[in-house]
Structure formats: structure tokens, C-alpha cells
Amino acid sequence: MRPKEFDPEQIADAAMQVFWQRGYAATSIQDLVQGTGLSRSSLYNAFDSKHGLYTCALKRYQQMTSANIELLGADVPVLERVRRLLMRIVDNELEDGQRLGCLAANASLEMAGQDPAVAQIVAQNFQRIESALEQVLRQGQEQGEINPQNNPRAQASFVVCTVQGLRVLGKGSLPNERRQRLLDVVEVTLASLSPAQPLP
């Protein structure tokens, strides 16, 4: 096959959807052939292996989630930036009919414990949002919007945990309870960051 007959990013996007729906272990090469439209030989020539395509898909997911980080740069109060981030997660969960959750979190649970390459990509994904949150929360402390008694790095980790917790809760809640449960978590998280209600 001649090189550049397909767009590798489009193939990674298509593969990402397959892995997202099925997980790594349950995804076969035939699933990827059907999902990407490429032949087995083309997939192997371009990505070396199923694992190679998986890591490419995870990196594409990382690029896709950059929009969440961009929310933290908005010209609004810091707590509102955090609220917008959390509400985007809530909206994603409520609109996700398949309850796919976060691909990075799924990869962390399924693969990171036994696969250093996947663990590194997942860690980078979480570190990007955590670093952005830490910077914003430090700014909020300086401006009096965020509880100054708390470690901003720890607070950032807490918000990242909240984001992933929202995804898990969204997948595991009954349909008639999902929205209110997720909104309750958002409000408790914001209250915990506020100087008016510091964490113990």
C-alpha cells in the first residue's frame, strides 16, 4: 500500500471509538478492521500491533480532552471555571447513552497496572488537567476565592478525583437519580474549595 493513503488521526479516532466501547481485551483485530475500514495488513503496517493502535487512540483522546483544560482559562471567577469544568462532565455523563465514561480512566482500570506504556499515557492525561487546576486554584487563593488553608496541589488532585468519580457515579446511578446525584457532588466540591466552607 502506498504511504499516506489514509489519515492516521482519523484511523486513531475510529479505533478510539472501538476501544472505548469494548475495552482493550475484548477488542479483536477484526473489530478494528471493521471500525477503521482498513485491512489487517494496513493496520499492522501503520501501527505495528493492536497495542500500538491502542496507545495512539489514547493519545488522540488526550488531545480531545484539551477542551476541558481550556475551560479553566476563561475570564471568569475561579470557582465558576471549576463549576464549568464539572458541569461539562455532568452533561457528558447525562448525554452518554452508552455510559462509556472516560477512556483514560477505563484504560487505567483495565491496563495501567500491567502495562507501563499505557500507565504513562494515562498519567500524562491526568497530570495535564491536574497541573492546570493547580495553577488556577493558586490564582483563586491569591484572589480570595479559594480556601487559602488548603494545599492547591492536593485540591487539584481532589477535583480530578471528583471528575472521575462523577463519571463512575454517572455510569452506576439509576436513570431517575443520575442528574441530582451528580449535581449534588458538584455543589459539595465547590463548597469544599470556598473559603467560606474550608475542608477540615
- Please state, for a pLDDT cut of 90, what percent of the chain lies above it: 60
13-22 average pLDDT score: 92
What is the DSSP annotation of 40-61? HHHHHHHHSSHHHHHHHHHHHH
Q: What is the pLDDT of residues 117-155, one digit of tens each?
A: 999 999 999 999 999 999 999 999 999 999 998 899 999
**Residue 149: what residue type?**
Q
Is residue 103 predicted with pLDDT exceeding 80?
yes
Domains of the chain: 8-61 (1.10.10.60), 65-193 (1.10.357.10)
pLDDT at site 65: 85
Query: What confidence category does residue 1 fall into, taking pLDDT thresholds of 50, 70 and 90?
Result: very low
pLDDT at site 109: 87
148-168 average pLDDT score: 93
CB < 8 Å & 24+ apart, contacts of 71-74 = 72/132, 72/133, 72/136
Query: What confidence category does residue 2 fall into, taking pLDDT thresholds of 50, 70 and 90?
Result: very low
pLDDT at site 46: 86
- Side-chain-side CA neighbours of residue 196 (13 Å): 6
6 backbone dihedrals φ, ψ, rounded to 5°: -145, 160
**Residue 88: what residue type?**
R
